Amino acid sequence: MALVDIQVPDIGDFDEVTVIELLVKPGDTVKAEQSLITVESDKASMEIPSSHAGVVKELKVKLDDKVKRGSLVLTLEVAGAEAIPVPAPAPAAAAQQAPAAAAQALPASQSTPASAATAPAAAASGPIEVRVPNIGDFKDVAVIEVLVKVGDSIKAEQSLVTVESDKASMEIPSSAAGVLKELKVKLGDIVNIGDLLAILEGSAAPVAATAAAPAASAPAVATAAMPAHESTALPQTALPHASPSVRKFARELGVPLAEVKGRGPKGRITLDDIQAFTQAVMTGSTRTQAQAAKAPAPSVGGGGAGLDLLPWPKVDFTRFGPVERQDLPRIKKISAANLHRNWVMIPHVCNHDDADITDLEAFRVQMNKENEKAAIKITMLAFLIKASVAALKKFPQFNASLDGDQLVLKQYYHVAFAADTPNGLVVPVIKDADKKGIVQISQEMGELAKKARDGKLSPADMSGACFTISSLGGIGGRYFTPIINAPEVAILGVCKSQMEPVWDGKTFQPRLMLPLSLSWDHRVIDGAAAARFNAYLGQILADFRRVLL
Ligand code: CAO
C-alpha cells in the first residue's frame, strides 16, 4: 500500500475555481477515472477525476474552497503496483502525459481560442461564420442548451450554446458581434472542433485573439468556456447552476433542470434537489411545466403548486417493530394523486350545519314500507341529491368551475356521490338529477353503487359532475371536512343523523338531525354564500315541499 496525493491537474486558464461538490468521502473506494470533486468557474463546471484506483484516506478540500492547478484534492491509499506518483502540477505541455482521466476531463492545452472560432472573413462586415473553437481533447460533445435564437443581437463573447461531455460542461461564446442570421446546431447535436455553429451578420468586430491560432500554452476548455474578460455577465438564459453529473442524472430521469430549485450553495442544483423534484412530481404535489401545459385547464390560472416542501420522511419502521408492506390498489393510487392535488391547490373552507330530517325520514320509511315489494329502496342520499340540485339552482356559483380567470356556470345538474368499495373510493355521477324523481335517482344510485363495488364503472359513469355528495350516514360520525373534487367548487359531506333535543322557543323537542359539512373553494365562494347554501339545504330537507316552489 502506498499513499498517493491527488492534485488538481492543469485546468488551463482558470486562475482559481471553486469546489462545488465533493463526490467522495474518506473510506470510499474509488476507481481510476472516477470523479472526485466538481469545480466551477463562471462559465464551466468540470469534474476532477482520480488518476488511480484506491481508498480515499483524507480529503484535502472542502466545499467552496478555491483551488487551482497543483492544489491537493485528497490522499489515496493505493495498492503497491498501482502507486505511480501523480505528475507534479503540470504545465500545459506536461498535462498531455497526465493520466488518461485527468487528461480527458481537463484537456491539454493546444490552442487559445478566446471564444468560438471565427472565419478569417469575420473582420469585415457581412456574414460571419462562428465555429466551434479548439475545445481540447473533447470529441463529439453534445449541445445541451442553445442560448440564443435567430434574430438576436449578439455581443462579442456572448455565450451561444452550451456543450457537455461526460465530465464537463461549458458555454461557447461568440467570437464576434452581430445579428444571428442562422443557427447551424440544435439541441442534442454532436459537435467537434471546427463545426459551424452560427452565421452572424452585421458589425463584425471579432474579439482579440479570436482567430483559431494555435498557441503554445493556455488550455482550450478554459478559454472556450470562459470569456476573456471576467466581467462578462452570464446571459439571461444561462444554464441552471449544476454540475455535469447532476445534469446527466436529471437528463436520465427526464427532469427539466430549469424548473428545479437549487438548494446547494449559491442556489446550485444538487443530486438531492433532483431527487426531491422527482418525488414531488411522482406524488403529484408539483407538476413540470410540460405536464401543466398538457393538463386540462387548472381551476385557476397558473401551473403547478410549486410548493417548497421538505422531502417525505424516510423511516426504517422495522427499527420500531415488525411491519408488513402492501402495494396500494390501483384506484387508491389514482385517487391519492387527485386528492393530493385538490387538497393542495384549492383553498378549502368547511361550514358545518344540521338539518332537521325528522319528517323526511318518516316519509322515506313510510314510502319504503308501502313499496316493500318493490325492488327499489328509497334512500336518504337520493333526497340529498334532489335537495342539492335545488340549492345549486338557487346559488349558481356552487354549480360552477374555475377556468383561468373565468367562472364556468353550468346549466346542467350532474351530481356525484362517493362510493366506498373494497378497492377504494370511486365517485359515480347521477346525470341530469334535476330531471329525475327520487325513485329514479335511488334506482340509478343502487345500480351505480353495485357497478362500483364490482369494479365495473366506466369513465363515462364517473365524469361530468357539477357537485359531489359524500355520505358517511350509514357508518357514523358527526362532521368531517371532505376534499373538493376538482374542478368542482364544493362538496357536501353528510354524517349519521341522530335524535337530538331541539329548542322550539318554548320547549325541547326530539328531532332527527342530520349533520352537514360543506367544503367550498374560497376562490369562488365566500363564507356568507356557504352559510346560506347550508341553511337553504336545511330548509328543503326539513320540508321537501319547498323544492316545488
Ligand atoms: N343517517 C342515518 N342513517 C343513514 C344515513 C344518515 N345520514 N344515511 C344512510 N343511513 C342508513 C340507511 O338508512 C341504511 O339503513 P337501513 O339499512 O336500516 O335502511 C344504512 O344507513 C345503510 O345505508 P347505505 O350506505 O346502504 O346507503 P346510502 O344510500 O346511505 O349510501 C353509498 C350508499 C354508496 C353512498 C354508501 O354505501 C357508501 O359507499 N358510503 C361511503 C361513502 C364514503 O366513503 N364517503 C367518504 C368519502 S371521503 O370524502
CA–CA separation, 284 and 131 (whole Å): 44
Higher pLDDT, 431 or 176: 431
82 pLDDT higher than 70: no
Closest ligand 1 atom to Cα of 493? 49
Tell me which range, 64-78, 190-204, 405-419, is most confidently predicted by mean pLDDT: 405-419
DSSP state of 111: B
Could you read off the pLDDT of 467-494 as tens digits, one per residue?
A: 999 999 999 999 999 999 999 999 999 9
Sign of CA dihedral 194, 197, 198, 204: negative
Could you read off the pLDDT of 265-292 as tens digits, one per residue?
A: 667 788 778 877 876 776 556 666 666 5
C-alpha cell at 179: 445579428
Q: Which residues pair with 498 in a beta bridge?
A: 513
Closest ligand 1 atom to Cα of 449? 34
C-alpha cell at 275: 431527487
Q: Is the peptide bond before 487 cis (omega within 30 degrees of 0)?
A: yes
Q: Give distance in angstroms: CA of 466 to centre of ligand 1.
A: 21
Task: Please indicate whether residue 419, judged by its CB atom, sits closer than 6 Å to ligand 1.
Answer: yes
Q: Give distance in angstroms: CA of 105 to centre of ligand 1.
A: 68
Q: Give distance in angstroms: CA of 230 to centre of ligand 1.
A: 72
Could you read off the pLDDT of 21-48 as tens digits, one per residue?
A: 888 999 999 998 888 998 887 767 788 8
Measured at the CA of 96, the angle between CA 92 and CA 101, to 5 degrees, comes to 115
216 CB contacts (<8 Å, ≥6 apart)? 92, 93
Q: Which residues pair with 19 in a beta bridge?
A: 39
Could you read off the pLDDT of 308-354 as tens digits, one per residue?
A: 788 889 899 999 999 999 998 888 888 888 999 999 999 999 999 99
CA–CA separation, 118 and 132 (whole Å): 9
Question: What Cα–Cα distance (Å) separates residue 17 from each residue in 9, 112, 133, 477, 546?
Answer: 12, 19, 22, 64, 79
348 is annotated as an active-site residue: no
C-alpha cell at 411: 346549466
The reply to whether the predicted model has a pTM over 0.85 is no
List the one residue out of 123, 145, 393, 356 whose CA is nearest residue 256.
145
Q: Give distance in angstroms: CA of 474 to centre of ligand 1.
A: 3
Could you read off the pLDDT of 300-313 as tens digits, one per residue?
A: 444 455 677 888 89
Burial 55-67 (b: 16+ CB within 10 A, else e): bbbebebeeebeb
Residue among 353, 363, 369, 379 to mutate when testing ligand 1 (max atoms within 8 A of CB): 379
User: How many CB atoms are located within 10 Å of the residue 540 CB?
Assistant: 23
